[in-house]
């Protein structure tokens, strides 16, 4: 029977850490400290060092990290936040949830990240923040975005990019806030939901800490309205076990990506039939390895038949989503994002993948596209 190649093999990653993970679980169970506490505090310190940032505030999910950042900057009704239409829904959804208006700027077709020139075109007197996304694990052009933004705050949606770097430094350390996710499919995945807010600004860090506990300081005294955005102690304890392995996993993902690059280049296919991702920054962490092809849907179906998992990130741009129809967006407004949504296909890149599986994936894709 042909082996199924999974998009992500969480069991293969967690297996070698099983005893340590069980010990961490037992430690939290015995402590009785399930909300906040020493495990959360210790994880925050450790991940702040890893991300090269002054403050790391654990929160309940990547989506809630975005909400905390927006609330910390006072974004609300009547404000506009510029972001990308080619990303997971939470990016724009969080903007709408605080009462602000998401304003979409098209992407750079090479990196899939927001185009700073398009951002500049969208800035108005109502622009309260800019929210770029470090998509698929590669940093945006933060130097250009900072130049365009001026004194407009930047919230980095780094949900897919923990440990990624660019010429400006580690992602999450360059903007006013950085927002991360520990959803199980991320490079550092929790055992459920979890997130993180980062900043180098003491005042913004304090706002985030207050907002995650319903805006109370001290307890039962509320000067602002926050939310229940706390990171569970159990998730923090388990993430602490996995964090020391993250650098090694990232190195293996980069090795897999380089191997893919070489294998696909040997196929000799024209760019309109197959394009592989371009590494603009050396600090790419490859949460996804995303190819482009004008035969995407047929290729996806074929890979499925051959027991090879793949995924489309993302099949519909945010400006075309029904819930944002009130913004007046329409087909043709974001041509690069729309073209990407029709052509992108993510293939397995996880650290435990192995060369033999990669050879099978590439040969299967090559055989199909050469027909």
Give the domains, in start order, of the chain with CATH numbers: 10-245 (3.40.640.10), 246-369 (3.90.1150.10)
Question: Quick one: pLDDT at residue 206?
Answer: 98
The string of DSSP codes covering 115-169 is: PHHHHHHH--TTEEEEE-B-GGG----HHHHHHHHTTS-BEEE-TT-TT-EETTE
Kindly state the greatest CA–CA separation across the chain: 68
Among residues 348, 274, 350, the alpha carbon closest in space to that of 306 is found at 348
262-284 pLDDT tens trace: 999 999 999 989 999 999 988 99
State how far the Cα of 54 lies from the Cα of 173, in Å rounded to an integer.
8
Q: Phi and psi at residue 343, in whole multiples of 5°? A: -120, -20
Which residue, chain included where needed, has tokens 């993902």? 253
Beta bridge partners of 131: 83
Model pTM? 0.96
Among residues 4, 35, 58, 53, the alpha carbon closest in space to that of 188 is found at 58
Contact yes or no for 145/295 (Cβ under 8 A): no
Among residues 337, 343, 271, 355, the alpha carbon closest in space to that of 300 is found at 343
Residues 6+ apart with CB under 8 A from 172: 51, 53, 156, 158, 161, 162, 178, 179, 180, 198
Question: Quick one: pLDDT at residue 282?
Answer: 82
Per-residue pLDDT of the chain (371 residues; tens, 9 = 90+): 789 999 999 999 999 999 999 999 999 999 999 999 999 999 999 999 999 999 999 999 999 999 999 999 999 999 999 999 999 999 999 999 999 999 999 999 999 999 999 999 999 999 999 999 999 999 999 999 999 999 999 999 999 999 999 988 999 999 999 999 999 999 999 999 999 999 999 999 999 999 999 999 999 999 999 999 999 999 999 999 999 999 999 999 999 999 999 999 999 999 989 999 999 988 999 999 999 999 999 999 999 999 999 999 999 999 999 999 999 999 999 999 999 999 999 999 999 999 999 999 999 999 999 98
State how far the Cα of 103 lies from the Cα of 345, in Å rounded to an integer.
26
Helix (H), strand (E) at residue 57: strand 55-59
101-156 pLDDT tens trace: 999 999 999 999 999 999 999 999 999 999 999 999 999 999 999 999 999 999 99
What is each CA distance from 222 to 97, 109, 214, 360, in whole angstroms?
A: 21, 46, 7, 58
Under DSSP, the state recorded for 106 is: P
353: helix, coil or strand?
coil
User: What is the Cα Rg of the chain in Å?
Assistant: 21
State how far the Cα of 148 lies from the Cα of 155, in Å rounded to an integer.
14
284: helix, coil or strand?
coil
State how far the Cα of 66 lies from the Cα of 118, in Å rounded to an integer.
22
Contact yes or no for 131/83 (Cβ under 8 A): yes
Question: Quick one: pLDDT at residue 1?
Answer: 77
State how far the Cα of 192 lies from the Cα of 169, in Å rounded to an integer.
29
């Amino acid at each position: 029977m042909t082996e199924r190649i999974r998009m992500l093999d969480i069991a293969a990653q967690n297996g070698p850490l099983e005893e340590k993970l069980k010990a961490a679980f037992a430690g939290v169970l015995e402590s009785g400290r399930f909300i906040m506490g020493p495990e959360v505090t210790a994880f925050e310190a450790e991940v702040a060092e890893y991300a090269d940032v002054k403050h790391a505030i654990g929160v309940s999910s990547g989506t809630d990290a975005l909400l905390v950042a927006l609330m910390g900057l006072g974004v609300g009704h009547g404000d506009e936040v510029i972001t990308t239409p080619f990303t997971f829904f939470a990016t724009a959804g969080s903007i709408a949830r605080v009462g602000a208006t998401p304003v979409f700027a098209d992407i750079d077709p090479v990196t899939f990240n927001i185009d700073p020139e398009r951002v500049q075109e969208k800035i108005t007197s109502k622009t309260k923040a800019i929210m770029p996304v470090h998509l698929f694990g590669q940093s945006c052009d933060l130097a250009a975005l900072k130049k365009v933004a001026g004194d407009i705050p930047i919230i980095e949606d780094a949900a897919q990019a923990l440990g990624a770097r660019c010429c400006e430094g580690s992602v999450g350390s360059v903007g006013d806030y950085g927002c991360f996710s520990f959803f199980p499919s991320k490079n550092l995945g929790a055992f459920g939901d979890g997130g993180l807010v980062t900043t180098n600004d003491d005042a913004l860090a304090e706002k985030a800490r207050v907002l995650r506990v319903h805006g109370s300081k001290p307890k039962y005294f509320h000067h602002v309205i926050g939310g229940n955005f706390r990171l569970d102690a159990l998730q923090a304890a388990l993430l602490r076990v996995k964090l020391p392995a993250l650098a090694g996993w990232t190195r293996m993902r980069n090795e897999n990506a380089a191997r893919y690059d070489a294998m696909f280049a040997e196929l000799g296919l024209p760019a309109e039939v197959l394009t592989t991702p371009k590494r603009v920054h050396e600090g790419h962490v490859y949460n996804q390895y995303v190819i482009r092809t004008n035969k995407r849907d047929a290729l996806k179906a074929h890979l499925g038949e051959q027991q090879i998992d793949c995924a489309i990130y993302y099949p519909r741009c945010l400006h075309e989503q029904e819930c944002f129809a009130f913004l007046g967006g329409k087909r043709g407004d974001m041509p690069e994002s729309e073209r990407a949504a029709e052509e992108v296909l993510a293939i397995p890149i996880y650290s435990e993948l192995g060369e033999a599986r990669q050879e099978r994936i590439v040969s299967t894709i090559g055989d199909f596209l050469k027909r």
